[in-house]
Amino acid sequence: MSTEVFVWWFLLCMVSALNVLALSFSARVLWQKHGVMPAEVYASRRLQLMLSAGYVLGCAYRSALPVFDVQRMCLFDSWLSSVMVGRSVATVAELCFVTQWALLMREISQATQSKPGRLASLAVLPLIAIAETCSWYSVLTTSNIGHVIEESLWGVSAALLVFSLLSLWPRASARLRPMLLLMCLTGLAYVAFMFLVDVPMYWSRWVADEASGRHYLSLSQGVLDTSGRWVVSQQWQTWKSEVVWMSLYFSIAVWLSIAFIHTPALQRQNDGDVITFS
């Protein structure tokens, strides 16, 4: 394994280990609030914890066994590194993560009595389900056009989340606004990355494949290929194009997932206009 790849992989594993510890700590903190926190709020945060666990553990798995899906590249020679296994883990984890988004957006829309926010909260999960389907299409056929659509839908879904957060701003209390601002800036950075970096990257790969006359697999061929073929590469040249998005995805996105567990409940004050912490 090249030095660059080893350092990158080692850091991914260390971050993932810390993420699992943070998840365990979050579970302990939440349990300590049992009986103190209103039952409805506790049930909501417990659901966030369960969904976050699916995402955190899924990302930890993918950090330990990175896979470059379309190229069938992996770091270690094991069926656990097969694209079929890795993509399945990713699908479950990502659906858990976006369900966290939807739940938070629903809470915000209820607190602000925002109909557009409520519609956005209902739209996010179906959008990502379509995105996951497009991802599987690309993974199985090796055509990157599915990834272009997938990443675009993720960007749109994140923009809807930011929209929901911004709808809270006019009614937000002074205590709530710093956290709200941080979440909005994080969301906007994510949207910018998706549409300025990630989507163009997959688009350029698809254009290059089309120009070279690449032969794509059928869906049935793809199932067999992803299940039984993987190519081990431990060289930096292979992985350097994936380093940025994987590093951000397996760190910042995971931290956001854990943060959702600790999002304070929203409560309307008597004037019906200001949202504050409960």
> How high is the pLDDT of residue 111?
79
What's the predicted TM-score (pTM) here? 0.88
| Residue pLDDT, tens place only, 200-218 | 999 999 999 999 999 999 9
% of residues, the chain, pLDDT over 70: 96
* Lowest mean pLDDT segment, chosen from 46-60, 85-99, 166-180: 166-180
Q: Is the pLDDT of residue 165 over 70?
A: yes
Q: Is the pLDDT of residue 41 over 70?
A: yes
Distance, CA of 43 to CA of 201 (rounded, Å): 40
| Residue pLDDT, tens place only, 57-74 | 999 999 999 998 888 899
> How high is the pLDDT of residue 273?
53
User: Shortest CA distance to 107 belongs to which of 47, 63, 54?
Assistant: 47
Q: Is the pLDDT of residue 181 over 60?
A: yes
pLDDT higher at 49 or 108: 49
Distance, CA of 258 to CA of 16 (rounded, Å): 12
Query: For the residues 240-261, what does the mean pLDDT come to?
Result: 90
Distance, CA of 110 to CA of 118 (rounded, Å): 7
Domain extent listing, the chain: 3-261
Residue type present at position 242: E
Tally helices (H) and strands (E) across the chain: 10, 5
pLDDT-derived band of residue 34, with 50, 70 and 90 as boundaries? confident
Residues 6+ apart with CB under 8 A from 223: 84, 140
